[in-house]
A = this chain, B = another copy of it.
């Protein structure tokens, strides 16, 4: 084990208290339980002393009624007409839409996960895992009293206005088409969760190895260095890396108009 300064000992103790407190509390979500598709992932993270999850959603299709305020962006009194974590068929949406009296919007919301991390370095490792698995909008938050969170977020959504003041603005054929797109995104989202799970396992294995060899750790594991570069593990990670590169290129195709003064290399 490495020697720790008194302040890092304090920090560790405080983190353990937060974690115990968090995991002992009831699940306050509407659903009241962790989504099936991320149960294992959440368990793996919570079994690590340096992490605990504070919220998650595996991904879902939802239909929201936005009130009768017309084009208002910030909707008051919006309500949910439909929520599902499974593929969705046209008739479900048609039935739910009958209850809409405002501006109904169909959304696909991808996987999202919040993980509290013991130290910045732990968050960095998890951030690398997230980016490597295709969750490009992930980021770290460092809050008051050193609370360090990683948010895992995807770029991969769908948000489609369907009705205006209760009047349906699209055809049933369109809804059918749209749900095919949404279900496809749900499928892709599941694959990314799988990738995240696998990348995480490998990162944790590498951590375990470097922790059991503190000198190697000292040398190879400075703060502010991304894990993936430290231990490339080409044989293991190759197919995933290639997949991601393709994906990122595609995503970049979406963004050539962003004003890039320059993106620092190796960012």
Contacts and interface: CB of A to CB of B under 8 A. Distances in A.
B34 A259 contact: yes
Contact of A31 (B23, B158, B259): B259
Interface in A249-267: 250, 253-264, 266-267
Contacts of A211: none
Interface of A: 18, 21-23, 25, 27-31, 33-35, 52-57, 60, 62, 64, 71-76, 78, 80, 83, 112, 114, 116, 120, 123-124, 127, 137-147, 149, 151, 153, 156-161, 164, 169-171, 173-174, 177-178, 180-181, 184-185, 187-188, 224-226, 229, 246-247, 250, 253-264, 266-267
Copy total for this chain: 2
Contacts of A161: 158, 160, 177-178, 181
Contact of A261 (B54, B156, B158, B259): B54
A124 B145 contact: no
A59 B159 CA distance: 16
A253 B79 CA distance: 8
Given A34-B259, A55-B259, A112-B258, 7 more contacts: A29-B258, A30-B256, A55-B260, A60-B257, A75-B250, A140-B140, A169-B171
B78 A253 contact: yes
Contact of A139 (B27, B57, B74, B138): B138
